[in-house]
Structure 1
């Protein structure tokens, strides 16, 4: 029996294949397109991965998938789109697998921050999810949110409506001349990812003392703290259980960003503490396979078995 563990986000899809007697394989693919059926995209990636692995034995697929909603279907939809060698599928929203990877069975909240943002909180028998409304209506403090504000600051500085900023040089290095920047972004079919990628430059500029970049990140941290507060209050966690962790490279890769978030969490009406994740979203996806029915996230996971009787 082989296992295909999947972490499918907008910035990339990671697949981890394992089977007794074989060397484990890690693969990376382009991210899911939120405007298309995310399950069919994951099915294509998993089928390709298993096919290249060269094993036709029974497979279990466990996946955390961004943008997953009831309209796309559930585990059975994914199972039917996969080769018959896949006999078991367990899937959940990537906010659930982010939580399981970061905090496991412990209560608290997890900031799943990539291109977008979803904040999940769990108590003994209760869960809450905050934000995740997409780049047009929410995802406050995420990669697109930060990147778009960084590019806005660049264009305002170009117009003379704002102070000059080192973000301008970063934008030129990434997109080319400022006067063609908007058209380059608008004409890019992956424009959301392109804008979100600029968040890396915003962080770098802030770390080197750019006040505009720091202001963007500070407000982003404030938005994340507000979402964490809403999620923690929704599940009724007591003050001594108000811990917050994270998943995603934006937070993982920058102590500067973590410091800002830690400060904002400490300043909430009921303070929360920031703790390092115990694992990764891939670990969280793997945890779906044997998730106990007593876990508050159990009901948010769908399961399907081929030839189930």
Structure 2
């Protein structure tokens, strides 16, 4: 067995043979599965495929063997589709990499080198690829707002992150946080306590059934965060006519702006690296004006000197960008064991 562990599938003999063009492999691994793109440094992503099976996480963290098991057929199909001649660079953005990435760091770069001939591999937290997808290689901060909430920022010398601690300890202002606050207001109305919302109570009963049964339907579920987040759109729907729901979204906006301010370089003021930019990405943007209007106000208040810009792309786009920059020796983002780890093979 190879000292890094045998991650190469046995079903196929040999290594994939790519034609002559330098190829870039980009991977976005998250809770909903894998998205994979193949492209070149000059032309970007040419084609992409996906798997709906999330990569397993075990006692040693994210499972690199399971990732490779899914990756090989996807890459083989993409290589045939695009005609890319060889894979030189690979970028894998993975949810949980910062805290669960030890096995990936130890074995995945060598596995990609053996299987595809990759000579340079970057392993990154998905928040980092989300940052690069949104802002490219510019200093600033990106709020990744979905079921959870994490902010990532850089001054191009080091990475900073805020929140992202999960729905029990943090993710303040994220979808699960909003949904939980909305359900608490519904339960307050059910009990006759102050701070309740009749509108949210009606919405909760429509979505989850009678309130006395809600704890039994929610607490045992392994996907509690997603269930809580599923109520966030109802909070946004009620907000225009319900002061309790509107207050929840204003509080969420304050939490989000707090996290952005914590990671934005120099408080959003221009530096030697140029202006600091702020972007927001993720599914929470679909909630529209009830959240985005107070968020814009809070970001303007907390980061008056930063430039608010729309996100240019998503985490897979960010992985493609990192790969292209590596392939052309143009990467200026900071390296970091837990945020973005780059390995170059000499043979």
Selected match of 2:229 from 177, 196, 200: 196
SS in structure 2 opposite 1:99?
Answer: helix
Q: 1:38 to 1:172 in 2, by over 3 A?
A: farther
CA shift, 1:172, in A, is 2.7
Gapped regions of structure 2 (runs ≥ 5): 1-17, 41-45
Q: What is the match of residue 167 of structure 1?
A: 200
d(CA) in 2 for partners of 1:54, 1:176 = 49
d(CA) in 1 for partners of 2:101, 2:169 = 20
Gapped regions of structure 1 (runs ≥ 5): none
Q: Give the structure-2-normalised TM-score.
A: 0.74
CA shift, 1:158, in A, is 1.0
Q: 1:17 to 1:254 in 2, by over 3 A?
A: same
Selected match of 1:296 from 333, 336, 341: 333
Confirm or deny: 8 A CA contact 2:57 2:63 kept in the other structure: no
Selected match of 1:226 from 248, 255, 258: 258
Confirm or deny: 8 A CA contact 1:4 1:15 kept in the other structure: no
Q: How many equivalent pairs are there?
A: 304
User: Is residue 151 of structure 2 the alignment partner of residue 126 of structure 1?
Assistant: no
CA shift, 1:83, in A, is 10
Q: Which residues of 2 match residues 39-58 of structure 1 at below 5 A?
A: 39-40=63-64, 42-47=67-72, 49-50=74-75
d(CA) in 2 for partners of 1:90, 1:80 = 12
Q: 1:269 to 1:121 in 2, by over 3 A?
A: closer
CA shift, 1:175, in A, is 2.2
Say which one has the larger Rg: 2
Q: What is the match of residue 13 of structure 1?
A: 33
User: Is residue 78 of structure 2 the alignment partner of residue 78 of structure 1?
Assistant: no
Per-residue CA deviation, residues 85-109 of structure 1 (Å, 9 max, x unaligned), is: 3443422011111110111122211
Confirm or deny: 8 A CA contact 1:76 1:304 kept in the other structure: no
d(CA) in 1 for partners of 2:220, 2:252 = 27
d(CA) in 1 for partners of 2:206, 2:55 = 26
Q: Give the structure-1-normalised TM-score.
A: 0.82
CA shift, 1:267, in A, is 1.9
Q: Which residues of 2 match residues 1-309 of structure 1 at below 5 A?
A: 1=18, 4-10=25-31, 12-18=32-38, 24-27=47-50, 29=52, 37-40=61-64, 42-47=67-72, 49-50=74-75, 61-69=90-98, 71-73=100-102, 74-79=104-109, 85-88=115-118, 89-161=121-193, 162-206=195-239, 208-233=240-265, 235=266, 237-238=268-269, 241-251=275-285, 254-268=288-302, 270=304, 272-289=306-323, 290-291=325-326, 292=329, 295-299=332-336, 300-304=339-343, 309=347
Per-residue CA deviation, residues 161-205 of structure 1 (Å, 9 max, x unaligned), is: 133332223323332222211111112221222112222222222
Q: 1:255 to 1:164 in 2, by over 3 A?
A: closer
Q: 1:45 to 1:197 in 2, by over 3 A?
A: farther
